[in-house]
Structure 1
Amino acid sequence: MFHPKGPTFLELARQALSSTTEGYDMLAPKFEYTPFRTPDELVQKLAEVAANKPMDDVLDLACGTGALARALAPKVEHSALGIDISEGMIAEAKRLAKDEGVDAKFQVMNLFDMRFNEQFDAVVTSGAFGHILEPEQPQFVDLIWKALRPGGRFLFWTTPMPSATEPVYWAARGFNAAMHVRNILVQPPFIMFYLTFTLERASELLWKRGFEVKVETPFEKGDYARARLVIATKPER
């Protein structure tokens, strides 16, 4: 549908009618050939900014096929770990890391089950926010705070909330409405929503938890002009 090696329309329909975990298990072998994967330009820019500060250990949350963890692995002194709830995604991440000769580690784990305590200099994520419901977002931020060492950073891409005059706003709202209807009619639910951790919402939660928040706009023009790179730093003691 998107690429000769990508999923067909019927495969995407099967995914949409499955649970979140089962759906991504199905999609995993072809995920690299879909538009759902974070573009290389965004992956490499985030890795470049993260590497501006020495890092021993990095954590990639909801890592999917591990694009961020694989990009960051050569830039860390000790380890780059990616976690994801999907066994299929983790298997694919391990395969790609092996093929690329990258020393990144991957583990099946629900991010809400993680119990890391000041183990990482950086936490990154890409594409995770749509799977985190709004009431869960404060807990999500708290877990990141606990996982980071003092002075550690949480880096991620987001966008400002679009205005109601922009087509992207109504496209996202339409998709979200369809997902709500789908989850009423079909069980188990598939959790994926847009506009859930916008720049405004993320900044509010991060500041409230105690992070120092910096926002960069690396791409002033083109496809990624709306993208904002957020760098939230846990203060030193």
Structure 2
Amino acid sequence: MSSSRGPSLRELTVQALSSVEGGYDRLAPKFDRSPFRTPDGVLEATADALRPLGPFGRGLDVCCGTGAGMRVLSSVCQEPAVGTDFSAGMLAQARGAHPQARWVRADVQALPFAAAFDLAVSFGAFGHFLPSERPSLFTGVHRALRPGGVFAFPVFALPPPTSRWYWALLGFDLAMRARNAVWRPPFVMYYRTWPLPAVRDDLTASGFTVTTVPLTALGQRRDGSPRYRLVLARRADSPADRGEPAP
């Protein structure tokens, strides 16, 4: 599950029986040595895909955790970046690792920013949001971006039913639903609740124009499709941005 210096099974169990915020406050000192930190390969592939679209001005890491996404923002943005998360423990770790950035504790479904950023990114956090919460999350990011700003995040292709990973992820999600049905506070973490077509629809409804690019460096599935895609959601503020005829 993790390195010898990472969280123990007992610590992971305590996290799973806590609220999302409380669990991450507890896990924060060892989070970067756990299997839950976004792999460096995903960060590097994302930066490589964004670099031709930049350089960007100011960047925002949404649900920043301990700040792994700052590696991406610092490589493609010209101004110091901002990270936001609701876990004080995770933000404390991020401040220590990236003192050059600004860190803001906030509920990402009510981001306290307006037209302040040219690029927003997010890594590994969306399993903590139910489908019904996507619109408020996306609307807040849209509001935080400047006209023409981009919201970028990687998504992985769900494995086919013939894969053991399909059943492992399904089993995990069912176990979490059972846990949340009988235990309070809930710990929201699901792997199968953000399919790309539904995410694309919700981004479009929130005012974005959406494209995706394959992250080929992260490999392919057996059918030749990419294992990961990078979603590029651009803030649409004019009829031309939305692909509509000008009045």
| TM-score in terms of structure 2 length | 0.87
3-state SS, counterpart of residue 5 of structure 1? coil
Distance 1:221 1:39, change over 3 A: closer
The aligned length equals: 233
1:3 aligns with 2:7: no
The 5 Å alignment of 1:166-185 reads 166-185=163-182
Match status 1:235 vs 2:236: yes
Query: 1-side partners of 2:217 and 2:123: how far apart?
Result: 20
Q: C-alpha distance in 2, partners of 1:167/1:217?
A: 23
The verdict on how the C-alpha distance between 1:56 and 1:85 changes in structure 2, with shifts beyond 3 A counting, is same
Q: Which residue of 2 aligns with 1:85?
A: 86
Displacement, 1:44?
Answer: 2.0
Which residue number in structure 1 is paired with residue 13 of structure 2? 13
How far does residue 90 in structure 1 lie from its aligned partner after superposition? 0.3
Residues 140-161 of structure 1 deviation map (CA, whole Å, 9 limit, x = unaligned) = 1111111111110010011234
- Contact between 1:61 and 1:124, CA under 8 Å: does it hold in 2? yes
User: What runs of 5+ residues in structure 2 fail to find an aligned partner?
Assistant: 239-247
Given the alignment of the two structures, is residue 153 of structure 1 paired with residue 150 of structure 2, yes or no?
yes
The CA deviation string for residues 123-173 of structure 1, in whole angstroms up to 9 with x for no partner, is 110112111111111121111111111110010011234433333222222
**Relative to 1, partners in 2 of residues 1:223 and 1:62: Cα closer, same or farther, differing over 3 Å?**
farther
Task: Please identify, of 136-145 and 217-226, the stretch whose mean Cα deviation from structure 2 is larger.
Answer: 217-226
1:115 to 90, 112, 115: 112
Indicate conservation of the 8 Å contact 1:160/1:200, yes or no.
no
- The runs of 4+ residues in structure 1 deviating greater than 6 Å are none
Indicate conservation of the 8 Å contact 1:130/1:193, yes or no. Answer: yes
Cα separation, 2, equivalents of 1:221 and 1:16:
29
The 1-side partners of 2:27 and 2:39 are apart by 17
Q: Distance in 2 between matches of 1:60 and 1:31?
A: 17
Q: Which amino acid aligns with 1:63?
A: C
In the TM superposition, residue 85 of structure 1 has moved relative to its aligned partner by 0.9
- Deviation per CA, 1:72-110, whole angstroms, max 9, x where unpaired? 135423231111111110000111114xxxx21212211
Measured on the aligned residues, the alpha-carbon RMSD in Å equals 2.0
1:37 aligns with 2:56: no
Report the residue type matching 1:146 in the other structure. R
Distance 2:88 2:56 in 1: 27
Q: What one-letter code is carried by the residue in structure 2 that aligns with 1:203? A: R
1:68 equivalent to 2:69? Answer yes
CA contact (8 A) 1:118 1:146 kept: yes
Quote the residue 1:126 is aligned against: 123
Fraction of identical pairs, as percent: 39
Structure 1: distance between partners of 2:211 and 2:5: 38
Secondary structure at 2:211 match in 1: strand
Deviates more, 1:148-157 or 1:188-197: 188-197
Q: Distance in 2 between matches of 1:34 and 1:219?
A: 25
Q: CA 1:66–1:90 in structure 2 vs 1: closer, same or farther (change >3 Å)? A: same
